[in-house]
Chains A and B, each alone.
Chain A
């Protein structure tokens, strides 16, 4: 306190003089006091820190417990719009512990009153075994569980299990596949993505649209009924990115009941079945010839006489017996003209072209049921000739659809996929034909629907184009007469294609209404037309006035009807 200026001079007078010892004591006290204040300040600071600010090291009860989340053993599968296609629901499964069971016979009798479907003798045998665990019935409904509990039989208990449920039943059965009783994927995407569905809880989003799927399935089923076919297949694919919006194979099955599935309904005609596609292959042959610059739309070939090669004769179904121009060959589906076109391009070139458009290798789609194409071992001239009009080479409908998609979308091949691609994702396609060739193919396909064999595929407003295909079925090593594969592959709208639509009926029989014909034009083309009319508004495709002059100009084709004759401008 020495040298300190007095704060209150009045007081000073009263204070006695300070002895030096007291002075020392005071300064010691001051130092101690200062130390204590510092210590308390630290404690205060720490107190404020602990109470007011949350530190990372601090254990937090609510955080360690975590938020409750629903975990299922298998992720959901949804369609492109988020509609649930497959999910896992909790169920109770009934098991018994025979070692603590008092009276097995009485237990069987009691159980039979609430679970009449249990086999009494088998159940009795199970309950008298010397084991401590045996399943009696898996996946009971909540009501059944309640009723069994009410019986109060000692030795019975439940174990929570999960059951895969497909709310839309058979609608997308072949693409979804199914699981076994232990929820292991056995077919379709359930099998292909088995590991992912178990590990990753986020729903798997498919490219399928249930509304389109329904339209396709319904129209195909109606056609199978009408023409008494044995089966059918249908595909709708987005030509801009390869997304498969609908894929149907008939007959189909209910994946909710995997044990009841009959083996012939399991067969996926759209991806696993490989078939000779017939005239739809002429799209590839014509595109190849036009793209190679071998022919122009004004050129043509003489189709007067059938072609004889070794023991085969190649004829025209709708024979005109004259020179035909390229559009005519396509419109009348002339085999003779197409064969000559293919031979002009060359055997090796044909093989290379089909390789490019995905015809010679299995499509890389995300299910396990994929059929490999049947390709001739040695690709000779005779093979090239038959392949040009779709015989002697078997492919799955999925391959055909992906290939034709590339023919109409401006020439880019997109590998087909069953998964929805993220919006604005880069296209992964590669160019197979020029945009100019693709535009010509579009005009030709429109011509077939406007004036040719595919007239029944027309859907007012959607500018449908396409090609019919009728092939005799190969059974064993022979063609089965009268057993046809009738198909139609179309795309719409033809001025700027968005979707390829394919329909195929297996072994149809003609009816009175079709004058006994069961060809692609009579059987499959109407299916495609009806499907397009239904899905056009759903998929948001803008309808156009087909008679508008600018549309007619876009679709117009010069048809030359004589080799050096005068030209007729057809405006359709």
Chain B
């Protein structure tokens, strides 16, 4: 049995662990277009800000690959896939045959078409890959960059801003929506983050976008905004989003929508081909539809479930929901599921704002079940809210205690609490 995994991030690593739990003999090959052993993309902002060094970016060391007997092919891009002959072709012409294939190639940063912005314009970067982050750091250091512009105030944009500010670079962020983190947070939470950004000297421009990029030679020099505003800069980071990487499956019969469509066993529409992580479109626990949820925990779980099924242990993917834990300008934030429910569709919202501590808690309910939450500067025990969503716990009896500082397992019905703390491993 030959398991071939394209991509070497968290989905791949979890798949390897799952496969080896069931199959010690089969051959596992991981192929990645990136040169490094592995690295955690969410840590790139810590690296940019100088909080950690490059050697701390890896989330599994070399021993992991040895222990799990994985053949690594690094720095080679998979460019061709023949699902009939069950072969993957690499950029240098090498052909790899597989029995089971996992596509976990992640996402690619989106760069919208902007007047004057060309592929070879210098001083323009995205921020999801290590090589790009390194080029960005070199550029900042060599050109002694003092000021930068970030396009897009989503999570990646804000983490890039944080890293830049920590390097002493002043930042202007341009966001098309009327507030930062509009996809993740509600207005209250966004405004707390905006205040904090302003306090750190970051200029936030909302409801605007870049209409034209002016260059001097090839180098970015000035941005003209839709509002007519002009900003001089020699560094632009584009962080408007990430889309699933569908390059490898293009031209094959593998079905795609926004991402590669997978069933509950992480199988694609083609036999023996699986997909997991940011490139895959799997079950969303809350909407019960297939959706791309490009977050670390989803990639980890999907990778694991794919690995289990690839090695014969038939295991369904329970579906996860959007959740993020991000420290933004030293404010710890965690959000789950539905954070800004539409009006008049039966949602109920509980919230509590402590202005002194800038602490904010919001819980979104539907039919007495928790379906979403935002926690700012109040993340202790956050996972219990996530558990309430997953388990569909009826919270009618203790709704008034959901926001309290004392919130915990104690508010739950006793039998459920006992089951929760005991779990399956306690069958003596």
Pairing of A with B: no
Give chain A's interface residues, CB within 8 Å of chain B.
Answer: none
Give chain B's interface residues, CB within 8 Å of chain A.
Answer: none
